[in-house]
Amino acid sequence: MTATVSRRSRIGILGSGSAAQTLGTAFIKHGHPVMLGTRDPAKLQPWRAGAGPDAYVGRFDEAARFGNLVVLSVLGSAAEDVVRLAGIESFNEKVVLDASDPLDFSSGRPGLFVGTTDSLGERIQRLLPQAYVVKGLNTVVAEVMVDPTLSGGDPDMFIAGDDDRAKQMVTALLGDFGWPVIDMGGIESARWLEALSLAWVVYSHRTGKTHHAFKLVGK
């Protein structure tokens, strides 16, 4: 691996929604120049204006090339297409933090369009064989991604990926955001992290609550 992440390392974020903007602002706060990538960069100009001189916006391919580390923060149904739009070679030798989920509401009930024997995280890794994909940040909403202090106690963030050094980099970045990180093993464990996100959605639908997360006790 040639990529490293340190202070002032550039972060490319593929996505334009609340999670992408929340993460972008937080990375900038911790000293990282950030570019958000989207199909329509003009719509992100208000975020750029408010986020300061280390905030940039561009197309998906520009953001992927910009980042020493790239965050995938798009709808799961769009994730593979967005990676292709960004250019497969743009990710070579980079850590990719995959925060997407294969959520599927087409039946009228929450479900996953891939699971049990495969995962979206694994699909992204196969699509990017020269990158180091780490699944994480997929089990909370944007408002809980940074400084996750909740009424029931401090939650944990679960990650999965095949490269130990890549996971160490992601662990350090998430630590800046206040997350204790639990390594669940190889990228195949993304199957269970994505299923965990479905449990989050089902609970939210039943209760109307969104500010909740998971914690592993008895560690």
- pLDDT > 70? residue 3: no
Residue 217 in any domain: the answer is no
Q: What's the rounded Cα separation, in Å, for the pair 204 and 178?
A: 23
* Distances from the Cα of 173 to the Cα of 15, 17, 44, 128, 182, angstroms: 19, 20, 24, 22, 13
Structural domain count of the chain = 1
Residue 50 in any domain: the answer is yes
What are the backbone dihedrals phi and psi of residue 201, each rounded to the nearest 5 degrees, phi first? -65, -45
Among 82-86, 92-96, 161-165, 214-218, the minimum mean pLDDT is found in 214-218
Residue 136 in any domain: the answer is yes
Tens digits of residue pLDDT in 81-107: 999 999 999 999 999 999 999 999 999
Q: What is the CATH number of the domain that holds 128?
A: 3.40.50.720
pLDDT score of 199: 95
- pLDDT > 90? residue 158: yes
Tens digits of residue pLDDT in 25-44: 999 999 999 999 999 999 99
Whether 100 and 42 have beta carbons less than 8 Å apart is answered as: no
Neighbours of 168 (CB within 10 A): 15
Q: What is the mean pLDDT of residues 7-12?
A: 87
pLDDT score of 153: 86
Residue 201 in any domain: the answer is yes
Q: What's the rounded Cα separation, in Å, for the pair 63 and 68?
A: 10
Residue 41 in any domain: the answer is yes
Residue 1 in any domain: the answer is no
Nearest to 93 by CA among 50, 41, 151, 132: 132
Residue 18 in any domain: the answer is yes
pLDDT score of 5: 64
Q: What is the mean pLDDT of residues 66-71?
A: 97
Residue 211 in any domain: the answer is no
Q: Could you tell me the residue range of the domain that residue 163 belongs to?
A: 11-206
